[in-house]
Chain A
C-alpha cells in the first residue's frame, strides 16, 4: 500500500510523461485524451486517499441512486403535511420547519440537500463517463437516457421550489413562466397565472404538486432504461460510503436547516433572496443578462442535444491496423454444434449482449446462446466463459486459448531450456499503450524476455481453467494485468466469473493453485513503467521460489 501511495505521488510527473510520449491507451479518441489524463489523475488521487474499493468516484451512479432514495423518502414525509392551496402552502411548510424543528425541519433539509447533491453527483458522473470514453457505441442507451435525466431532475427541482410558495417560489414561477411564454406553446402568456394573488388558484397548486410527484416516477423509468443494457449495475454504494453520505447530509441539515424566504405576495416585487444555485442559478443568469429565457433555453437545448449526439460523432481512433492483440476484437459467434444452452456465457456478459433463447435447431436442450451484435462490446468474456468452446471471436475459443498457452511453453525444436518463458502475462490491450513494451513478435515482454505474453481485449476473458492450464503446461508464474476494477472499460469488476482474488471470488479457482505463483496486477492505465517493474520482480520471485 505504501509503495502504491508513493507511486501516486509521482502521478503528475507520470501524466506529463505519458502525455509527452503519447502513451495514452490507444483506444481513447484523441479529442477525449486531455480530459482522460486529467480524469485518471484525479481518480488516482482519490484511490490513494480512499483505496480503490471505497473511492467515491467509482460509485457515482450508485451514489445518485442513494441520494434519490433519500429525496424520495423525505419527500413522502413532507407530502403528508403539505397543504395544496395557495393560502395554506406556506404555513404548512413553515409548520414543519419551525413547529417540528427536529423531525419535519430536518426532513425538509434532507430533502433539499439530497436534491442538491443529486445535481452535483449526476454532473460529475456525466463528466466521468464522458472522459473515460464510456458513453459511445454499446453504451449509447445509458448515455442518452442519462442526458435526458439531467433536465428532468432540474425540472423536478424547479417544481419543488414552487411548492413552499415563498418569495423564492414567486420568483421561480414568474421566471419559469416567462421562459415558457417565449416558447410557441400557448397564446396566453403564462405569467398571467401570476399577475395577482387571486390569479393563483388551488388548481395550479394541484398541478404543480402532481408534477412534483409524477416526475420522480418518470425518473425511475428513465433510470431503469438507463441500466437496462448494463448487467449487474451497481446501484448501492458500499456501506461505508452510504453511511458517510447519510451522516454528512444529517450534519448539514442540523448545522444549516433549510428555511423558506418570506411568503409570496404577487402585489410586491421580490427583493434579495437566497438562491439555490444548483436549480435556480439559471434564472439568476437570465435575469442578470436580461435574456429572453425562451431563446436562451432553445439555443442551450440545441447545444445540449449536439452534446448528446457526440457518441455518433466521436469515432474510434484507427486501431485495427496497428493492433498488437493476440486475440482480435471482431464479431462473436456461437457454434450451435457445441452449445448446450447453459447460462455461463450469458452470466459473463457485462452488457446484456449474450442472451439465451429457445432452442431452434432441434437439439435436446431448452435454450441456446445468441449474441446481439449491437449490444456486444467484443470484450471476449464469453469466449473463455463457455466451458464447451462454443463461443468464438475471430477464431479464438476456449480450445485455441489453451492451445496458444501450450505453444508458448513448448520449447522451440532447436532450443535449450533457457528459451522457454518462465511465466506468462495476460495483458489487456484496451487499457495500456503497449508500444515498445513487447518484443517485435509481440510474444515476450521486451525488458524481461523470459516472460511470455498474451495480449487480449480485457483480462475479464481470463478464466480459471485457463490459468490452471498455464501451470499444467509448465508456467512457473502467471500474471494477469489490467485496470483497477472499476476503471475497467468492460466493467470487469462486476463480473464474478473471472479469477479476481480481490473480491474474494475464489469459488472458480481450483484450490491447488499456489497463491504465490499467480499475481493479479491492477494498475492505472498510465502506470506502464510500474508494470514493467512488477513483472520483473514477480518473475524473479517465482524463479527463485521454484528453484528453492
Chain B
C-alpha cells in the first residue's frame, strides 16, 4: 500500500472534531439567573455558647484544680464548662412566610467549633419583607435572640448579603 496524501474527504473528517470544538466550546449559552431575579444570601459564622456552663461551686473547684497544677500546665485559655457548644437556631421569613427553620450544629467532632450558615434564596426582584432570627439553641428564656427585619427593594440580578460579626453582635447587610 502506498502512502497517500490525506484526501479531501479526509480533510473534512479531520475537521469534524474542530467544528465540534468550534461549536461546543461556547454554544449553546446558558442562563444561570434570569434578568429579573434577585438573591438573598445569609452567610455567617458564629460561636455559640457552651452547652454546659459552670455555676459558682463548679468554677471554684475548677480554679482550685488549675492552681494545684504545676505552673507550666496551667492552661491560660481553659474555661470552666463543657467543650461542646450548643447549636444555632435560624429562622427566615420572606414576605411574612416562614421559609426556613434550621438548627445547625457547631463544627467539630465534639461540636466545639463555630456554627457556619450559608443559605440563599432566589426570587423576583423588587420590594420584599425579610425577617431573620437567630439564637443559640438552648432551653433558656433569657437567651439573646438576634433579629433582622427589613423591607428591602431587591435590585435585579443583585445579591444582598446578610451576615453577622461578633464586633457588632448583630445581623447586618454587608456592603
Contact = CB atoms under 8 A, between A and B. Distances in A.
Contacts of A267: 158-159, 161
A244 interface: yes
Interface in B98-138: 107-108, 113, 116, 118, 122
B103 to A, nearest CB: 15
Contacts of B11: 244
Contacts, number: 131
Contact of A116 (B25, B158, B163): B25
A187 B32 contact: no
A196 B161 contact: yes
Interface string B3-29: 110110111011101101110111111
B158 A1 contact: no
B11 to A, nearest CB: 8
Contacts of B4: 1, 51, 54
Q: Give the one of B6, B15, B163 with max A CB within 10 A.
A: B6
Contact of A273 (B7, B30, B107): B30
Given A271-B35, A272-B31, A188 B26 contact: no
Given A51-B1, A54-B10, A245-B14, 12 more contacts: A1-B2, A50-B7, A53-B3, A188-B107, A192-B116, A249-B18, A266-B159, A267-B158, A273-B29, A274-B26, A274-B27, A288-B30
Sorted nearest first, the 9 A-B pairs with minimum C-beta distance are A187-B107, A274-B26, A269-B33, A189-B118, A272-B31, A195-B43, A277-B24, A269-B157, A248-B18
8 contacts: A1-B4, A50-B7, A188-B45, A189-B116, A196-B161, A269-B159, A272-B30, A288-B30
Nearest to A267: B159
B94 interface: no
Contacts of A258: 25
B10 A49 contact: yes
B37 interface: yes
Given A46-B13, A244-B14, A120 B21 contact: yes
A112 interface: yes
B14 A274 contact: no
Interface of A: 1, 4, 46, 49-54, 56, 112-113, 116-117, 120-121, 171, 181, 187-189, 191-192, 195-196, 240, 244-245, 248-249, 251-252, 255-256, 258, 266-278, 284, 287-288, 502
A316 B139 CA distance: 67
B39 interface: yes
Contacts of B22: 252, 255-256
Interface string B79-95: 00000000000000000
A273 B10 CA distance: 34
Contacts of B9: 49
B21 A252 contact: yes
Nearest to B122: A269
B86 to A, nearest CB: 16
B39 to A, nearest CB: 6
A187 B157 CA distance: 29
Given A50-B10, A188-B107, A268 B158 contact: yes
Contacts of A51: 1, 3-4
B116 A188 contact: yes
B172 interface: no
B121 to A, nearest CB: 12
B41 interface: yes
Contacts of B18: 248-249, 251-252
Interface string B127-165: 000000000000000000000000000000111010100
Looking at B32, B33, B116, B118, the one whose CB has the most chain A CB atoms below 10 A away is: B32
Contact of A276 (B25, B33, B38, B108): B25
A192 B118 contact: yes
Contacts of A272: 29-32
Nearest to A109: B25
B1 A52 contact: yes
Contacts of B10: 49-50, 54
B45 A278 contact: no
Most interface-central of A181, A196, A288 (chain B CB within 10 A): A196
Contacts of B7: 49-50
B57 interface: no
B1 A284 contact: no
